[in-house]
Amino acid sequence: MTAPEPTTDLAALPKVLLHDHLDGGLRPGTVLELADAAGYELPASDEAALRDWFVQGATSGSLERYLETFRHTVAVMQTADALRRVAREAVLDLAADGVVHAEQRYAPELHLAGGLEPQQVVDAVRAGLEEGVAEVAAAGGRIGVTQVLTTMRPSEHSTTIARLALANRDAGVVALDLAGPEAGHPAARHAAAFRTVRYASFPTTVHAGEGAGVTSIAEAVHLAGALRIGHGVRLIDDVQLGARTETDPWGTDGARLGHLAHWVRDQQIPLEVCPTSNVQTGASSSIAEHPITPLARLGFAVTVNTDNRLMSGTSMTQEYAQLVEHAGWGLEELRDVALTAGWSAFLPHDQREALVEDVLRPAYTPRASGRHRA
């Protein structure tokens, strides 16, 4: 592996973020202000304490405590103004993190408690994203942002959300996502929703292989027709790694892939991997031992993502830095995931090509020595 040059500014590298939840990326100060305006009580009353509370909740190992963090963010996102503000700020924060293209996902059905209709939720988020993109452009930056509509595994409304996504396909909604607890909530329950979007030639991504194993991934790919997998890290259970040696620290040279792992790799189905989040939820023991490294070495189409920037106290730059520091990644590995993410964005092919060839590849290609004379 080539270590990044010491001067490599990870924050400045252009990045593509495919897996980031709108209700998991709020600024702590915004949560406080929105809660105040709504008369909603939070577990902490100043920014630093609230930030810590969110990260601790996500790291506690208790599912109850983890879900509680989202109860609070979702609770303050029940008006059009609040959704618009959160969406706008997300775009500004991502641009400041070097993100040049992002998909923002959220579940419209969780934002109806204040009386909004699902379409109004989508409209409010779109307005906020557009404002953010315009502000970034006005300041001389560049970012593109699209929406992914999430439906929840325990939900009864997946077909409604699928239709909502299709109704907004020309207004920035690019895919349907399935999220929520995998165990006990198989994707098969939502077969009608997946059929609805698939027959309309519209993409699906499914959270799978995070809380449950290989069967859940198989279901996402083969039953839901997922074009990408959210997380997918348990795919490593279908890979028999060889002996670790000094020159082959992961035993990938002698690895044997099961049928599903073969399929996912051979079809280059992108994995939206979220390293810090996976360590927090126990899907992986550490960044150093995270399956993303052997999966990348084996040629899987892996991408690096943030999942929930607030709960994980992370950013794309931070995810990159963690992989460099703890998993021995260099500029080459970072370039591979960035280009894969660019090619895997739910965008028309010509736009992906422009993103990859004009924006990403040049930034990750070290300048040939001598080309720039002092």
Angle between helix 158-167 and helix 191-199 axes, rounded to 10 deg: 20
Alpha-helix residue ranges (DSSP H) falling in the chain? 28-38, 47-59, 63-75, 80-96, 118-138, 158-167, 191-199, 214-218, 259-266, 275-281, 292-297, 309-312, 316-327, 331-344, 349-354, 361-364
Query: Shortest Cβ distance from residue 179 to Zn ion (Å)?
Result: 6
Residue showing tokens 């943030």: 306
In terms of CB distance, is 35 or 269 closer to Zn ion? 269
In terms of CB distance, is 79 or 281 closer to Zn ion? 281
Catalytic residue among 109, 210, 219, 272: 210
Query: Shortest Cβ distance from residue 205 to Zn ion (Å)?
Result: 10
Instruction: Report how many residues bind Zn ion under the rule CB under 5 A.
Output: 1
By beta carbon distance, the residue nearest Zn ion is 307
In terms of CB distance, is 25 or 144 closer to Zn ion? 25
Which residues, including other chains, have CB under 8 Å from residue 271's CB and lie 6 or more apart? 228, 229, 231, 232, 233, 235, 264, 295, 300, 301, 302, 303
Query: Shortest Cβ distance from residue 150 to Zn ion (Å)?
Result: 8
Which residues, including other chains, have CB under 8 Å from residue 269's CB and lie 6 or more apart? 221, 226, 227, 228, 229, 263, 301
Segment near Zn ion (CB under 5 A); pick from 159-167, 188-196, 305-313, 336-344: 305-313
In terms of CB distance, is 307 or 319 closer to Zn ion? 307
Query: Shortest Cβ distance from residue 245 to Zn ion (Å)?
Result: 35
In terms of CB distance, is 205 or 317 closer to Zn ion? 205
Which tokens go with 333? 């590995």
Segment near Zn ion (CB under 5 A); pick from 69-77, 119-127, 300-308, 320-328: 300-308
User: Catalytic site residue 68?
Assistant: no
In terms of CB distance, is 227 or 298 closer to Zn ion? 227
Query: Shortest Cβ distance from residue 302 to Zn ion (Å)?
Result: 15
Query: Shortest Cβ distance from residue 233 to Zn ion (Å)?
Result: 12
Segment near Zn ion (CB under 5 A); pick from 211-219, 243-251, 293-301, 303-311: 303-311
Show the site string, 179-218: x = touches Zn ion by CB under 5 A, - = not.
Answer: ----------------------------------------
What single string gives the DSSP state of each residue in 144-202? EEEEEEEEETT-S-HHHHHHHHHHTTTTTEEEEEEES--TT--GGGGHHHHHHHHHTT-
257: three-class secondary structure by DSSP: strand
What single string gives the DSSP state of each residue in 36-78? HHHT---S-SSHHHHHHHHHHHHHSS-HHHHHHHHHHHHHT--
Whether 211 contacts 281, CB under 8 Å:
yes
* Separation of alpha carbons 193 and 174, rounded Å: 15
Dihedral of CA atoms 160, 172, 185, 308 in degrees, nearest 10, equals -140
Closest residue by Cα to residue 143 from 357, 307, 356, 355: 355
Query: Shortest Cβ distance from residue 19 to Zn ion (Å)?
Result: 6
Which residues, including other chains, have CB under 8 Å from residue 52's CB and lie 6 or more apart? 44
Query: Binders of Zn ion among 307-336, rule CB under 5 A?
Result: 307
In terms of CB distance, is 73 or 79 closer to Zn ion? 73
Active-site residue list: 210
Residues engaged in binding Zn ion (CB under 5 A): 307
